[in-house]
Chain A
Amino acid sequence: MVAFEVPEVDYTEYTNRQLAAVPLALLAVALLILAGWFVTTGAPVQLGTEFTGGTELRIQTATPPSEIPNQFDADASVTPVQTADDTYLVTFPPDSGDVEQQARNNLEPVSGQSAADIVRSDQETSASFGSSTQRLALYGLGVAFVGMSVLVFLMFRTFVPSIAVVLSAFSDIVIPLALMNLLGIELSLGTVAALLMLIGYSVDSDILLNNHIIRRSGDFYESTYRAMQTGVTMTVTSLSAMAVMALVASVFGIDLMASIGIVLVLGLATDLMNTYMLNVSLLRWWKFEGVAR
């Protein structure tokens, strides 16, 4: 049986500065991307129709995709659904009128179906409702993050290990957000859920590492390696589950689960880097230099 072993990293070869540089540089780049996005588009991330308002239709029609936008009064953007024949996602800005009815009236049904079957799903959000959802989701994310931070500080009662957990959780959210912009994934309620799930997963492996280093007797490197063995197994297991979920869900065209899967894959990979480069270096500094002061 091919067993996978967690490789032992020789941390003594690298200085704290070297170790922390990579994740911090990536975090800075990610923040720059979000800031740039904010300057150019007015929002740090691409917001889906749930947040901006607008209408998203899933239609099945024999009308060729190039002609679909002409059948509507409002601006329409058309994305084909890869896995279903003649099926498209059509999105409209807010206040586009009764596009559902226009779809039924103007588009050709595929053979064997009637005009009533053209619209398979329809999600309409008004602009005002969208902005209130946006506020709420932001508020929820903020409260979740602050709550997590407070709890972490209460549990460890030491500044450096606690801030290491919080910083790495922050980076675990920010880097996937920047990657979502680059990959063209919109922020929807589903991806917000995925980001929150990341808080949970990220803190898991960080707490494990902190616990091994702070609360156990023994050599720093030995503790780190033992925490790593468990932590990497955990993260890789979740990562493989999420990768498979993202793949299967996108083949089936279930967008919500596909985007949750992709965001988690990005976030868990980020977490591997943050935990075993950023956190380890912060903890080593704290253990060998910070405490002495």
Chain B
Amino acid sequence: MSWRDNWRVILLAIFLVVSVYALVAPGVGGGDGGDAAGNESLVTTDGPTNLKFGLELSGGTRIRAPVDAVSAYDVDMPEVQEGEDRNEVQSEVERRVAGNLSDVDAADVTARVGAPNESSTVEVRVGNVSEEEFASALDTAGYDYDRIEQGVTDETRDTIVRTLRDKISQAGLAGGSAQEVTTADGNNFIVIEMPNANQSEVESLVTERGQVQVVAGFPVQEGNDTEYREVPLLTQGDFSRISTAENHPQNGPNVPVVLNDEPAQNFSEAMQKFGFTGEGADACTYQADQDNPGYCLYTVVDGEIVYSASMGGDLAGTIESGDFVQNPGFVMQTTNMSEARELQIHLNAGSLPASLDLNDGTSYFLAPSLAEEFKLYSLITGLVAVLAVSIAVFLRYGDPKVAAPMLVTALSEVVILLGFAAAIQLPLDLSHIAGFIAVIGTGVDDLIIIADEVMGEGEVHSSRVFQSRFRKAFWVIGAAAATTIVAMSPLAVLSLGDLQGFAIITILGVLIGVLVTRPAYGDILRALLTDQ
């Protein structure tokens, strides 16, 4: 018995050791907290192993939905002339398109003038505009276009995914993730997974765009009448520092913020011009009389006033004296702590360019307690299936010398796969468990082929006889493996939820089987049969 003859067994042993290490060694896989794509490590680790469990085995919510918007591609926009600002052309288009749509603000329309040879696009990012309405708006505005599709451009979708990730991590929902999925028929979806969160929490996160504004509302004398004007002053991006939401003894629940230099300058000028620092200080009566609110600073989220505040006397003083511009910090108040936390998330993560259309997608929720049951039960189911295979194999061969290594080899395939899953942080779901069982099934099938072929034509006396028979058996195994891989590969790339995980595990299992474990079984069998 030499090293050279048994290198396949040695290779299998190495694979097993590495896999077991990946499975149980602390700090493997989960340690770095994220991958290169900026996808934070978003799955829960449980128990003594490094295995990650997906939603179906750990509980939580998954939402898969398209973006609620319409976009026109290859739009014939005016060319940007020498010396002309591209932004001006774009905002001109935006204004004209929005003007032809009811209830649409220019801010909800984005026009992008593409570089030469690139598609110019226009998006309307509010949900209630149909493709027909958008088409007639473009026609009326005089812009030709190639086609109109539901959804947004790739750039906007990237922004949405980035913003959602930010929001998830800001919300402190450990283990959440957001990603883009494109199906084979060209539809784009955004998939959000949140362990340990229920549907309504996730739904509000993705359907609310989270646009935060600070709006000044104040009275203006027009002859004898008093009119109220509302001027948006600050929005996301105007803040250089957003602190954690706090419950202050005097100010109540609030988010302390610091302004950037330029917005601070503008804010300070506006406050003085509108009269907030004079008669307008401490003069907001919005809560008492909405028709006659006085001088108020409103915190507006998605167009709704969530809080109205007076200009504090102290703050008014620092604005008057000019100290405010040097040190532009103030607090944004809310009615309760949960609103304050939400406000902080919106301020930090920015607003979603468009919300998701839940009526056109899927959502899935599983209670963590039920998931725990599934985890245990599917483990038991898998073990029972292995037991059934073992009994069948022992009954068939009656010879533990043949049957025992068969089972050990088949199980080592599963151990290697599990180790691989732990190493790449694959979140295991029920479909993966079904894949493992499929792998055991095909694995044992192939080992039966090897065993029968090798022992079928009488006693095996020499290595040479063994080698030639083993090679014959391997042709069948290789052919079967190739067909299984071909049959599974379309599913591994189509984003079909459950089926993708199943297909990936089956393909990997077949590859590991053909390249590592089944050749090793051949060596083991040879050693046992030829008594070398």
Contacts and interface: CB of A to CB of B under 8 A. Distances in A.
Interface in B475-529: 475-476, 479-480, 482-484, 486-491, 494, 496-499, 502-503, 506
Contacts of B441: 197, 201, 237-238, 241-242
A257 B496 contact: no
- Which of B183, B449, B456 has the most chain A CB within a 10 Å cutoff? B449
A199 B364 contact: no
B380 interface: yes
Given A121-B366, A211-B475, A240-B392, A151 B378 contact: no
B449 A256 contact: no
Interface in A227-256: 229-230, 233-234, 236-238, 240-245, 248-249, 252-254, 256
B107 interface: no
A112 interface: no
B30 to A, nearest CB: 27
A183 interface: no
A91 interface: no
Contacts of B283: none
A230 B452 contact: yes
A102 interface: no
A2 B304 CA distance: 77
Contact of B396 (A3, A117, A215): A3
B185 interface: yes
Interface string B387-407: 111011111111000000000
A49 to B, nearest CB: 10
Interface residues of B, number: 76
Nearest to A197: B438
Interface stretch (A39-47, A130-138, A273-281): A130-138
A144 B483 CA distance: 9
Contacts of A199: 483-484, 487
Contacts of A132: 183, 185, 187
Contact of A121 (B365, B385, B387, B489): B365
A200 B487 contact: yes
A244 B479 CA distance: 28
B488 A117 contact: no
A234 to B, nearest CB: 4
B302 interface: no
B506 A147 contact: no
Interface in A108-143: 117, 119-126, 128-129, 132-133, 135-137, 139-140, 143
A241 to B, nearest CB: 4
Given A193-B499, A237-B392, A208 B483 contact: no
16 contacts: A121-B364, A140-B491, A140-B499, A144-B488, A147-B487, A193-B499, A200-B480, A200-B483, A200-B488, A208-B476, A226-B452, A229-B456, A240-B389, A245-B382, A252-B373, A256-B431
Interface of B: 64, 183-185, 187, 199, 359-367, 369-370, 373-374, 377-378, 380-382, 384-389, 391-398, 430-431, 433-434, 437-438, 440-442, 444-446, 448-449, 452-453, 456, 475-476, 479-480, 482-484, 486-491, 494, 496-499, 502-503, 506
